[in-house]
Amino acid sequence: MKNTNDMIEKHLTILFEKWSNEKLIKINILPASGSYRKYYRMYSESKSCLGVYNQDTKENDAFIAFTHHFLSHSLQVPHIYAENKDENIYLIEDFGDETLFIRLQKLRSEGFNQEEIIYIYQKVIKELPKFQVLSSKDMNFTYCYPRPEFDKQSMLWDLNYFKYYFLKLAQIPFDEQDLEKDFHVFTDFLLETNCNYFLYRDFQSRNIMIHNEKPYFIDYQGGRKGALQYDIASLLYDAKADLSNETRGILLEYYLDELQKYITIDKQNFSSFYYGYVIIRILQAMGAYGFRGFYENKPIFLQSIPYAINNLQWILENIKLPIRIPTLLSVLTKLPEANKIKKIVNTQKLIITINSFSYKKQIPIDNTGNGGGFVFDCRALPNPGRLESFKTLTGKDKLVIDYLEQETIVKQFVEDIFNIITISIDNYIDRGFCNLMINFGCTGGQHRSVYCAEKIAVKIKQKYNLNILVRHIEQELRN
């Protein structure tokens, strides 16, 4: 794998230096996302960009063709600086790291300003009809991949993706033939609306960048011809964005008003199909969560499942589609009761607080009403605090870490503790408990207890998808 990455970086470097006429100073691979593409941030003396590697050549062709087309319509997408199709790489404009989802999180952390959230979403939604309506008039849909339209075949792929990678892996029972029949009824209904516009396909908060307070759009290579309802459903029912139903209503009305600046629409007719597209979009996303989470064992994708199920529950309780799909609706109703789903929900409920403390003070008090959890005494371990060179350091510093990890007893101590606490973690998750406290004490609360708290936090994160709060109480008191 290392050789593959080295070769990618080598080819990207050649392409970058040819484009920039400058020597590459730095190249950093960005964290992996939901796709198999690899992104690299690249710098020279005066220029920077993103380097992209994607072994799917047809997907590359679609992205590059769409980008040129969108730019010809002055849409806010990245410029392509250079490309080498033989090596499956290209260079694009870098809009930074702030996605719409990150901006949403920031707004909520600052007090959940609903007006600001609506305002930034309106900026995004204002641009959507330009993609859907304006760009579709002269678009070459032959570049669409894997199909030129979001047609019956595409819809059935998505529904079967949900069936095999979510329902099967979550161990939710269903009648295969009856569910397949409902899939056909459902897709025939969705195709009754006008499907001759550009469908962005993955129009959601992580594919929208906020740069200089403007929205910019990425990851549209899966676009194809389709219905207008799909993309606005993707945005408003983006699982972890977790917009309120009131906000969704306001933003849907805003979208329809913007859309009417480009075409004449019947709002009632639009709405009659809208929630059908909301459902199929959620099911497609749940198939992806199942594939990535259950099959590929990437817990971060499981985090979105409770949000998606809550959205489906609201629709089932409040919206009645004008078709009969009893088996599909029955399956969707069963989702919250499935044992695997319950475990995911309970996992998200559980918060683990890990403290380091000094026995010269007191054992941390558990204010959750859960009785205190674990207290582990680290004073039997070798003490770095006795050495003058470590006096001002803590258990988070490399010198202290190296000192402790050369001792076999320290590694065994941490491993034994982890084996003990996982019994409780598994049990708490199964029983739907919300809090568990784990305390590490040593003489000064500075070296051994801090080291153990940090080490256990890392080990828990590696095994579980949980909310973990680490506090070093003695250090907080000193600061």
pLDDT of residue 219: 96
Instruction: Decide if 348 contacts 413 (C-beta within 8 A).
Output: no
Q: Is the pLDDT of residue 2 over 50?
A: no
For the chain, which domains are there? 2-92 (3.30.200), 100-340 (3.90.1200.10), 350-478 (no CATH)
What does the DSSP 8-state code read for residue 87? G
The mean per-residue pLDDT over the stretch 390-417 comes to 94
pLDDT of residue 166: 97
pLDDT of residue 1: 41
Six-digit token string for 157: 């792929």
Q: Is the pLDDT of residue 342 over 90?
A: no
Residue 232 makes CB contacts below 8 A (sequence gap 6+) with: 125, 128, 203, 252, 255, 274
Choice among 50-54, 89-93, 342-346 with the minimum mean pLDDT: 342-346
pLDDT of residue 231: 98
The mean per-residue pLDDT over the stretch 169-184 comes to 96
Mean pLDDT of the chain: 93
Nearest Cα to Cα of residue 130 among 72, 214, 62: 72
pLDDT of residue 369: 64
Please tell me the distance from the alpha carbon of residue 332 to that of residue 338, in angstroms, as a whole number.
11
pLDDT of residue 440: 97
Strands (E) located in 34-141: 38-43, 48-53, 80-84, 89-92
Please tell me the distance from the alpha carbon of residue 271 to that of residue 252, in angstroms, as a whole number.
10
Please tell me the distance from the alpha carbon of residue 57 to that of residue 364, in angstroms, as a whole number.
57
Choice among 85-99, 352-366, 374-388, 423-437 with the minimum mean pLDDT: 423-437
Question: Which of the four pLDDT bands, split at 50, 70 and 90, describes residue 465?
Answer: confident
Higher-scoring residue by pLDDT: 469, 153: 153
Q: Collapsing DSSP states into helix, strand and coil, what is residue 226?
A: strand
Q: Is the pLDDT of residue 479 over 60?
A: no
pLDDT of residue 223: 97
Q: Is the pLDDT of residue 148 over 90?
A: yes
What does the DSSP 8-state code read for residue 170? T
Which amino acid does the sequence have at 76? Q
pLDDT of residue 162: 98
Long-range (24+ apart) CB contacts under 8 A made by 410-417 are: 410/381, 410/382, 410/451, 413/378, 413/380, 413/381, 413/452, 414/452, 414/455, 414/456, 414/459, 417/374, 417/376, 417/452, 417/456
Six-digit token string for 299: 């817990």
pLDDT of residue 151: 97
Instruction: Decide if 291 contacts 148 (C-beta within 8 A).
Output: no
Q: How far is CA 280 from CA 234, 247, 255, in A?
A: 10, 21, 20
Question: Which of the four pLDDT bands, split at 50, 70 and 90, describes residue 371?
Answer: low
Please tell me the distance from the alpha carbon of residue 263 to that of residue 253, in angstroms, as a whole number.
15
